[in-house]
């Protein structure tokens, strides 16, 4: 069975699918034959038979003047009832007034036309733009050309919105020049920025400080004039580069920046000088007119094109018949001899003052003294010896230098003498102290090792009493026949520290029954004022070689029991 269309010009956009019920019969369709039915679904495929159409003829857009170039500022859309690639649309701006500031592209997902900004907008220059946009199919079907053009146009009107913008400088870069000797405070140029918004605001200027170099200049906040703030030196810095910022008084957050370049022009302030060594030599057998040295000059200033140096002898040396200067007029000069032969014995050194001038304004000149040494040469001019004796001559020193050297030597000698004297005095004081302050320890140990804690001797100097040493002269090395009490003397000044120390030591030895009798024996020079045993100064006899009898110590009471046991043990 063949299924054919029954109607012409079926439209997919009107109805896309059809269902057809088909019946099949046998026996040629005669009565009594069997039949069967089926349903056939028919879907119409799309063809590009519909052009794109804009839903409205005019589109209105509002765009801020501060919009960035390349940003999307609006969308428009044309409708195409076709499906798939037949519905793909291409948008174009029709050439004309205002269209050169904008561009349009197609969004592949939504088939919308995206209008983008191609150039910056300025409300103060132009407030509105009008142009036409054309929408057309990308894939055309030539069978339907007769239907009509497959494109449509619409008008786009864009209104520019005024925005508060930063000031605008009149130049992208400012270049200025100033001479290096310009006085501080001199105005060298100015920058200009304007607020182009409606109802413009005044502008203030300031330098964008980034480093210490920027401090060489100042700017007037209102006028924008730039002046020097410090003295400039081209030889130190030949060019300064910094930024100037302009801000609106009504809105200081809106700022713009411009680069400023200042070139420092050279001023002829340095004289030229000889650029070669200041010393040369001449042979004893030199002939008149012989060139012994060619000199050149150098100038610290920036030499302009055509700079020339001139050379000549100073006036005081012009009349001397020894040497002369020949200016070659090419910024070089030759030192020439003026006589026949020189003698080292007559004069070994010659000093030749050479004056060099530059050609800049103001003219700068300097006098450079050349040292010429007389040497012995062979017949070919080869130097054989050149003032060998000079190396043995003493170096010339000024009077001030000699005085300084002598003062240094004297100061060193004084320091050495003082050091030696102090060392001797210190040694003498140490010997005297050791003789006057005698401390003896008699220590007895029954075991090997140990006893270090017993070597802590007492400071006997604190126990001496010079008031008693002259009164108690009687001997204590023999036992007295009768116990005699000393005369009553007025009490001496109480010393609390000594009394507390002695009482503490006595108490420790009295209450300790296990204390050995071998403690420490100290030599007392003065002691015992008010004691029943009077002074113990006779114990100092330990320093003598005589034998002593210490039995009388047992009669002095329990406080001297340890001493009696110690000396009794030694005698036994």
Cα–Cα dist 369/278, whole Å: 7
* CATH architecture of the domain with residue range 58-161: Sandwich (2.60)
Q: What is the pTM of this model?
A: 0.43
CA-CA distance, 215 to 253, in Å (whole number)?
A: 24
Average pLDDT of the chain to the nearest whole number = 79
Domain spans of the chain? 1-45, 58-161, 168-265, 273-385
Separation CA 65–CA 197 (nearest Å): 11
| Residue 473: per-residue pLDDT | 47
What pLDDT shows up at residue 545? 45
Report residue 8 as tokens.
């012409």
The rounded distance, in Å, linking the Cα atoms of 243 and 19 is 80
Q: In angstroms, rounded to a whole number, what is the distance separating the alpha carbons of residues 319 and 343?
A: 20
**CATH says 273-385 is which class?**
mainly beta
Residue in the structure block whose two tokens are 């008008």: 155
Give the model's confidence band at 522: pLDDT under 50 very low, under 70 low, under 90 confident, else very high.
low
Q: How far from the centroid of its chain's Cα atoms is residue 42's Cα?
A: 84
Q: Judge residue 529's burial from the number of C-beta atoms within 10 Å of its C-beta, 0-12 exposed, 13-18 middle, 19 or more buried.
A: middle
Residues 488-492 have a mean pLDDT of 52
- pLDDT tens-digit profile of 168-210? 999 999 999 999 889 999 999 999 998 877 667 789 999 988 7
How remote is the C-alpha of 77 from its chain's centroid? 61
| Omega within 30 of 0 (cis) for the link into 130 | no
Classify domain 168-265 at the CATH class level.
mainly beta
* pLDDT bucket at 464, cuts 50 / 70 / 90: very low
With cut-offs at 50, 70 and 90, classify the pLDDT of residue 549.
low
Place of tokens 């200025």: 176
Q: What angle do CA 560, 561, 567 make, to 5 degrees?
A: 90
């Amino acid at each position: 069975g063949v299924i054919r269309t029954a109607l012409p010009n079926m439209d997919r956009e009107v109805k896309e699918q059809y269902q057809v019920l088909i019946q099949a019969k046998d026996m040629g369709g005669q009565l009594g034959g069997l039949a069967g039915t089926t349903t056939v679904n028919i879907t119409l495929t799309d063809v590009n038979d519909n052009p794109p159409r804009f839903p409205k003829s005019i589109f209105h857009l509002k765009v801020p003047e501060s919009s960035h170039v390349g940003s999307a500022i609006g969308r428009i859309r044309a409708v195409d009832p076709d499906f798939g690639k037949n519905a793909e649309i291409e948008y174009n701006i029709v050439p004309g007034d205002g269209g050169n500031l904008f561009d349009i592209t197609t969004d592949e997902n939504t088939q919308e036309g995206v209008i983008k900004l191609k150039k910056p907008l300025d409300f103060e220059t132009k407030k509105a733009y009008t142009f036409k946009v054309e929408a057309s199919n990308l894939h055309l079907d030539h069978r339907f050309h007769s239907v009509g053009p497959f494109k449509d146009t619409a008008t786009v009107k864009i209104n520019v919105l005024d925005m508060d913008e930063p000031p605008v400088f009149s130049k992208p870069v400012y270049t200025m020049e100033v001479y290096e000797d310009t006085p501080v405070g001199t105005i060298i140029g100015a920058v200009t920025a304007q607020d182009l918004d409606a109802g413009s605001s005044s502008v203030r200027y300031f330098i964008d400080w980034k480093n210490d170099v920027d401090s060489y200049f100042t700017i007037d906040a209102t006028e924008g004039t730039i002046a020097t703030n410090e003295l400039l030196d081209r030889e130190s810095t030949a060019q300064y580069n910094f930024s100037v910022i302009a801000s609106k008084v009504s809105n200081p957050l809106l700022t713009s920046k411009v680069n400023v370049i200042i070139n420092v022009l050279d001023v002829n302030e340095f004289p030229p000088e000889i650029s070669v060594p200041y010393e040369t030599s001449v042979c004893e057998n030199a002939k008149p007119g012989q060139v012994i040295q060619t000199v050149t000059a150098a100038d610290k200033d920036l030499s302009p094109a055509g700079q020339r140096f001139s050379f000549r002898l100073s006036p005081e040396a012009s009349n001397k018949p020894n040497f002369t200067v020949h200016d070659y007029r090419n910024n070089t000069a030759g030192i020439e001899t003026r006589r026949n032969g020189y003698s080292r014995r007559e004069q070994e050194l010659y000093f030749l003052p050479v004056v060099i001038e530059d050609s800049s304004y103001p003219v700068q000149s300097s006098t450079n003294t050349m040292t010429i040494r007389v040497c012995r040469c062979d017949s070919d001019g080869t130097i054989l010896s050149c003032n060998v004796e000079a190396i043995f001559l003493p170096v010339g020193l000024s009077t001030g230098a000699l005085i300084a050297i002598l003062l240094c030597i004297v100061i060193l000698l004084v320091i050495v003498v003082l050091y030696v004297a102090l060392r001797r005095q210190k040694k003498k004081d140490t010997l005297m102290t050791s003789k006057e302050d005698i401390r003896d320890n008699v220590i007895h140990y029954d075991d090997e090792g140990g006893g270090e804690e017993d070597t802590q001797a007492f400071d006997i100097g604190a126990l001496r009493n010079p008031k008693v040493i002259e009164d108690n002269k009687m001997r204590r090395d023999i036992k007295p026949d009768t116990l005699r009490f000393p005369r009553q003397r007025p009490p001496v000044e109480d010393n609390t520290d000594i009394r507390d120390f002695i009482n503490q030591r006595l108490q420790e030895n009295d209450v300790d029954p296990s204390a050995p009798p071998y403690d420490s024996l100290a030599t007392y020079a003065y002691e015992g004022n008010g004691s029943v045993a009077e002074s113990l100064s006779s114990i100092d006899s330990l320093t003598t070689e005589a034998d002593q009898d210490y039995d009388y110590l047992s009669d002095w009471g329990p406080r001297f029991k340890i001493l009696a046991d110690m000396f009794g043990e030694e005698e036994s």
